[in-house]
Amino acid sequence: RKRYPAGSRSRGETGIVTVRFTIDDGGNVLAVALAGSSGFPELDQEVLSLLRRASPVPPPPPGVKKTITAPVRFRP
């Protein structure tokens, strides 16, 4: 569900956005925040939108930590 923003692509912006998100037992995304910026606001915003679009994600197994930090890479 990741989308490379057209403006970022045309400007040649690349980078890694680190995102932290929390899910519930059903896989619903409850909270999303940047843990590390790419340096490009449009890429950072896309990752926040990506997580909201992806909800719900597959439910986690019982007893697993429900706050996840993950990198999202943008490159042509």
pLDDT in tens, 15-49: 999 999 999 999 999 999 999 999 999 999 999 99
CA dihedral in degrees (52, 54, 56, 57; nearest 10)? -130
pLDDT in tens, 49-71: 999 999 999 999 998 999 999 99
Are 59 and 6 spatial neighbours (Cβ–Cβ below 8 Å)? no
Round to whole Å and give the CA distance between 12 and 68. 29
Please give the average per-residue pLDDT across 9-18, as a whole number: 97
Amino acid present at 73 = R
